[in-house]
Amino acid sequence: MNADAKRIVRKCRRFAVRLKEHKNVECIDEPTIEIVLCNVGQATGFTKTELQDIILEKLPNVNLSKYIAEKGESHSFAIFGSIEHSKLFFDTYNGKATQNGIIIYMSYVTKVPSDETIYITDLPSELHILHDFISIEEEIQFLKLFDWVDECNLKNRNVKHYGFEFRYGTNDVDLKAPLENKIPEECSILWERLKEKGLIVNIPDQLTVNKYEPGQGIPSHVDKHSPFGNTIISLSLGSTIVMDWRHHSGSYIPIVVPRRSMLIMQGEARYDWQHGIQPRTWDPVIQERTENGARVRVATSDTVERATRVSLTFRETRQGPCECRYETLCDSRTSETDVAAQLEELHVHQVYEKIACHFSKTRHKPWPKVVEFMSQVQPGSVVLDLGAGNGKNILNRSDIIQIAGERSEGLLWECLGHVRDIPTAQCVRLDLLHAGLRALCADVVICVAVVHHFCSQKRRQQAIATIARVLRSGGKALVTVWAKDQTNSNYICRSGHSDQTVTTVGGLNLPVHENRTQFKHNDVLVPWKCRKVANEKLGDDEGTFLRYYHVFEEGELDSLCESEGLAVDRSFYEEGNWCVICTKP
Ligand SMILES: O=C(O)CCC(=O)C(=O)O
Ligand SMILES: [Fe+2]
């Protein structure tokens, strides 16, 4: 074996250890039909076409049945029709084939993970995509209608407006300020064609033209209910893309929107689902097929490159409030209190139910500051842990009575497991805003990382009021919340770039926080990512849940406590949290 060959063997061995550890895929010497290309993949820009070209060059009869290049990985898998073919490929190209001068090395493997993500969600009802709605010639004509010389730039795409200017701050239009530029006359054929197809739509009076270069997208949103009517239609030009559709119940479905198609959203699709386009230069190939009698959509690891896409979104403006029957995302329906309560339901309670088990696995040890506080609690005390989570702050002390109150059923189960061995501790289901606890019943209250989940100032105050109410005179509380300023914490490890927002309850746009970066806003949705289990493949956003947080300014928690009549003994910053120790006078 020459020096180069030895080096490749060494590299392969090192790679094999990593592959086994991270993907549970085994590298073996015995030929199989599956080969891992250790140093080329999606992240190195290697494509299926490149691999096919390499094979074609010397082995035209070899049949490559599948190529799996997972997102963000710098290795990939080639799967052949037979061992004979994989062996031919391996013997011909291991350590010889190149990608831009980089020598590709490889190994036989077993147990390659599935390259498919299956989505069983049905299409949103009242969403129609009419394929080949316009001809290739018409597409060219429509594209020519818009020159982008004086383009109005948004951060992530270019837009133009006709009829009425779409105001991005408020996501509405000013009906008193119609634009001189009306919807171009050339668009009339679209309404006629829709009518011919039996789809009656009112003639729109507002048009937004979006121009997306590859890599650009539009954040997930619902077109605000109150300014626009029941029907929104969108003509796609220049490039096919995948549009993500999300229901507030958590359903998610990626849908292919082909170029020259007309997308029509009405009713449920228009009012109750959010739509968005991920900012990437490619889209996964989505196949539709029947599995066990059910129609499913399958996102494969094959990708298609995007080209420049122009979309024409036509809307009909509305006067007066929206009267749809889809209240969750409707901005006409919900009062401030309803919005806050629904936000908590959707982005706190439902999320904790879903992530309880995974969350609990990541929260083992009580926090040192809590241990310090708890160790000073006098024997014989009654301690309430309000929002106890999995009960990690309940200490093994038999000289005090500890009651862990938790609203999430999932976390309560975890908590039960934790306190089972502590005879003087109990778990109860309890909601901090409606806590059916007698006033003055506790000597000590701890409330760790809970109050930041209440979605309005009034409700945060109400939570502190509960603490103040249940404490006896002279009783002490420790309250901690996330701080907006994370400067002196281990949390920050990079600077943030994304400005993603999500339209949620009441048509509210909330920013999605980029994990491990400084907070830019006080009210944010923070993604919780459930780690993948080996051999389980999750889609881009499956396994990610958005939790609402109000991150606190310095002194804000102190003021809340003081306004409920608690005396602040100590207030400090610890690892990204504001903490207050206070006494009930
Ligand atoms: O580009 C598209 O097809 C969607 C545009 C859109 O959703 C909007 O402008 O509200
Ligand atoms: Fe939209």
Query: DSSP letter string over 453-481?
Result: G-SSHHHHHHHHHHHHHHEEEEEEEEEEE
Q: Where are the alpha helices (DSSP H) in 443-552?
A: 457-470
Q: Is the CB of 85 under 6 A from ligand 1?
A: no
Non-local CB neighbours of 553 within 8 Å, separated by 6+ positions: 484, 485, 522
Determine which residue's CA is closest to atom 1 belonging to ligand 1.
311
- Up-side HSE of residue 557: CA atoms within 13 Å toward CB? 32
Average pLDDT over residues 473-494: 87
- Tens digits of residue pLDDT in 126-138: 999 999 999 999 9
Q: Is the CB of 313 under 6 A from ligand 1?
A: yes
Residues 158 and 239 reside in one and the same domain: yes
Q: Is the CB of 239 under 6 A from ligand 1?
A: no
Q: Is the CB of 218 under 6 A from ligand 1?
A: yes
CA-210 nearest atom, ligand 1:
1
The reply to whether 341 falls in a domain is: no
Q: Which of 234, 244, 255 to probe ligand 1 with, by most ligand atoms within 8 A of CB?
A: 234
The reply to whether 74 falls in a domain is: yes
What's at 434, amino acid-wise? H
Average pLDDT over residues 95-113: 86
Q: Which of 207, 263, 311 to probe ligand 1 with, by most ligand atoms within 8 A of CB?
A: 311
Residues 131 and 245 reside in one and the same domain: yes
Determine which residue's CA is closest to atom 8 belonging to ligand 1.
313
Q: What pLDDT does residue 312 have?
A: 97
Helix, strand and coil in the chain, % to nearest 5: 25, 35, 40
Q: What pLDDT does residue 535 have?
A: 38
What's at 31, amino acid-wise? P
Owning domain of residue 368: 360-484+554-583
Q: Is the CB of 156 under 6 A from ligand 1?
A: no
Q: Is the CB of 210 under 6 A from ligand 1?
A: yes
**How far is the CA of 511 from the CAs of 111, 172, 220, 356, 526, in angstroms?**
40, 18, 11, 24, 9
Residues 436 and 374 reside in one and the same domain: yes
- Tens digits of residue pLDDT in 261-314: 999 999 999 999 999 998 888 888 898 888 888 888 888 877 788 999 999 999
Q: Is the CB of 275 under 6 A from ligand 1?
A: yes
Average pLDDT over residues 97-108: 86
Q: Is the dihedral of CA 147, 152, 153, 158 positive or negative?
A: negative
What percent of the chain shows pLDDT beyond 90? Answer: 58
Q: Is the CB of 230 under 6 A from ligand 1?
A: no
- Tens digits of residue pLDDT in 427-447: 999 999 887 788 999 999 999
Q: What pLDDT does residue 555 have?
A: 96
Domain count, the chain: 4
Residues 491 and 478 reside in one and the same domain: no
Q: What pLDDT does residue 536 have?
A: 41
Which of 54, 86, 113 is the last residue in one of the domains?
113
Q: What pLDDT does residue 151 have?
A: 60
Ligand 2 center from residue 223 Cα (angstroms): 5
Ligand 1 center from residue 468 Cα (angstroms): 48
Q: Which of 173, 225, 313, 314 to probe ligand 1 with, by most ligand atoms within 8 A of CB?
A: 313
Whether 552 has a pLDDT exceeding 60, the answer reads yes
Q: Where are the alpha helices (DSSP H) in 307-397?
A: 336-344, 350-361, 368-375
- Tens digits of residue pLDDT in 211-224: 999 888 988 889 99
Q: What pLDDT does residue 531 have?
A: 59
Which of 113, 132, 165 is the last residue in one of the domains?
113
- Tens digits of residue pLDDT in 22-60: 888 999 999 999 999 999 988 888 888 889 999 999 999
The CATH number of the domain holding residue 454 is: 3.40.50.150
Whether 360 has a pLDDT exceeding 50, the answer reads yes
Q: Bin 575: left if φ > 0, else alpha if -120 < ψ < 50, else beta.
A: left
143, 237 in Cβ contact below 8 A? Answer: yes
Using a CB cutoff of 8 Å and minimum separation of 24, what contacts does 523-526 make?
A: 523/455, 523/548, 523/549, 523/550, 524/548, 524/549, 524/551, 525/347, 525/549
Q: Beta partners for 425?
A: 402
The reply to whether 387 falls in a domain is: yes
Closest CA to 76 of 20, 117, 115, 28: 115
Q: Is the CB of 459 under 6 A from ligand 1?
A: no
Q: What is the mean pLDDT of the chain?
A: 89
Full 3-state SS string of 12-35: HHHHHHHHHHHHCCEEECCCCCEE
106, 38 in Cβ contact below 8 A? Answer: yes
Residues 480 and 494 reside in one and the same domain: no
ipTM over 0.95: yes
Whether 206 has a pLDDT exceeding 50, the answer reads yes
The whole-angstrom separation of Cα 384 and Cα 387 is 9
Residue with tokens 């063997």: 9
The reply to whether 323 falls in a domain is: no
**How far is the CA of 283 from the CAs of 50, 65, 108, 223, 274, in angstroms?**
18, 21, 29, 23, 19
Neighbours of ion ligand 2 (CB under 5 A): 223
Residues 387 and 437 reside in one and the same domain: yes
Residues 418 and 310 reside in one and the same domain: no
**pLDDT confidence bin for 3, thresholds 50/70/90:** confident
Going by their DSSP bridges, the two strands 98-99 and 102-103 should be labelled as antiparallel
Residues 574 and 532 reside in one and the same domain: no
What's at 130, amino acid-wise? L
**pLDDT confidence bin for 537, thresholds 50/70/90:** very low
Can you tell me whether residue 188 is helix, strand or coil? helix
Residues 9 and 151 reside in one and the same domain: no
Q: Is the CB of 223 under 6 A from ligand 1?
A: yes
